[in-house]
Amino acid sequence: MKFFIDTANLDQIREAQALGVLDGVTTNPSLMAKEGITGRNNILKHYVDICTIVDGDVSAEVIATTFDEIIKEGQELSELHEQIVVKVPMIKDGVKALKYFYDTGIRTNCTLVFSAGQALLAAKAGATYVSPFIGRLDDISTDGLNLIAEIRHIYDNYGFETQILAASIRHTMHVIDCAKLGADVMTGPLSSIEGLLKHPLTDIGLEKFLADYKKGN
């Protein structure tokens, strides 16, 4: 399972990278705005800065919503750095663009996916990644994890190569449940990754080991 961090915060990306388990980064316009990154040139520079910190794929989202504009913007983003994956929304022109990018060798992440049908369409169009937003489904009393299971089932039925990128992860249990269900990738906040470290018995055990060592030395 690949671990992506879902942020545009460079310090958090550095911290996750330093842990040695980071495989990539996802961003979106809201995450960019949260870091105060505004203006086209600053946003493009920020993507390159992220690429210099991590070794893996970095999703950069298009703002355009029409086919021609998505293509233009996606090409510009993909030329920024070889690690860039163009993030395209699940809309009609987005699906057309996914197919275009597939045919021209540009890697994509189909975002804002909330149903198995949308995920099937993304795979048919040749998306590299599909991003089902599980946290936002949970927010409206719909089982986000069930969507991961449905997509896994459908993709395995037909051998689709599109990778399931479980997105809108909110906490550590989401990560563990997505791993059980066979999601290829998860993207979440740093806290969802660091939460995997924690167990009180580890802390108690370590404290005891160190105390016992001190007794004899």
Catalytic positions: 87
**Nearest distance in Å: CB 202, ligand E4P:** 28
Is the CB of 37 or the CB of 201 nearer to ligand E4P? 37
Q: Which of 128, 162, 168, 192 binds ligand E4P (CB under 6 A)?
A: 168
Give the Cα separation of 192 and 4 in Å (integer).
11
Give the Cα separation of 196 and 128 in Å (integer).
27
Q: Which of residues 24-63 bind ligand E4P (CB under 6 A)?
A: 26, 28
Phi and psi angles of residue 196, each rounded to the nearest 5 degrees, phi first:
-65, -25
CA atoms within 13 Å, Cβ hemisphere of 162: 32
The token duo for 138 is 């949970």
Among the residues of 104-199, which ranges form H helices? Answer: 116-124, 134-139, 144-158, 172-181, 190-194
Is the CB of 135 or the CB of 211 nearer to ligand E4P? 135
Q: Which of 47, 100, 114, 133 binds ligand E4P (CB under 6 A)?
A: 133
Q: Which of 136, 149, 184, 195 binds ligand E4P (CB under 6 A)?
A: 136
Q: Which residue has the tokens 């086209």?
A: 40
Indicate whether 131 belongs to the interface with ligand E4P (CB under 6 A). yes
End-to-end CA distance of the chain: 42
Calculated CA dihedral for residues 96, 102, 106, 111, nearest 10 degrees: 50
Indicate whether 162 belongs to the interface with ligand E4P (CB under 6 A). no
Angle in degrees, CA 182, 186, 188, rounded to 5:
150
Indicate whether 135 belongs to the interface with ligand E4P (CB under 6 A). yes
Site string for ligand E4P, 102-121 (x = CB under 6 A): ---------x----------
Indicate whether 167 belongs to the interface with ligand E4P (CB under 6 A). yes
**Nearest distance in Å: CB 128, ligand E4P:** 13
Indicate whether 7 belongs to the interface with ligand E4P (CB under 6 A). no
**Nearest distance in Å: CB 85, ligand E4P:** 10
- Report CA-CA distances (Å) from 143 to 31, 109, 116, 188: 24, 22, 12, 17
Compute how many residues bind ligand E4P; rule: CB under 6 A.
11
What is the binding site for ligand E4P (CB under 6 A)? 6, 26, 28, 111, 131, 133, 135-136, 167-168, 187
